Amino acid sequence: MEEKQNNKIYLRFNSIPENVGLARLLVAAVAANADITMSQLEEIKVSVSEAVSNAIIHGYANEVENDVELTVELKDNILQVQVIDQGVGIEDIEKAMEATFSTDSDRMGLGFAFMQSFMDNVEVISSPGAGTTVILTKRLSAGGQ
């Protein structure tokens, strides 16, 4: 039986929009080492983009002098991604996760809806003034299950 490759990477980066792409690439590179379909890879990239964008836009109100932490772990074909900010936090997580809810009137509020649709599990840990942790989990398989 072939042994599965496990990997864990931690990265801390500035809260600038350009780093959303960096986070996507890093997670995609780790996930691509697993049994994965192109469809799964795209779903993961969208989910990571949404989580990191939320940290920058909502957590830090686009203030660039802050840090976003990203942990990516691939273990036994299960990908887990954590996106952590030390920003304003979320007052009502349940409401924030409703489709079309946004604290920014210029945004559609579909970030969490995409994450929940594309990942097997989305956990949000947050409280006002204490930042937010988003944990995305996806079981990877060649069959796309």
**CA–CA dist 90, 59 (Å, integer):** 8
Catalytic hit among 50, 65, 66, 94:
50
CB < 8 Å & 24+ apart, contacts of 101-110: 103/58, 104/57, 104/58, 107/57
Is 50 catalytic? The answer is yes
Is 14 catalytic? The answer is no
Is 24 catalytic? The answer is no
Catalytic hit among 19, 43, 54, 66:
54
Copy the structure tokens of residue 58: 């909502």
Catalytic hit among 7, 33, 69, 107:
107
Residues that are catalytic: 50, 54, 107
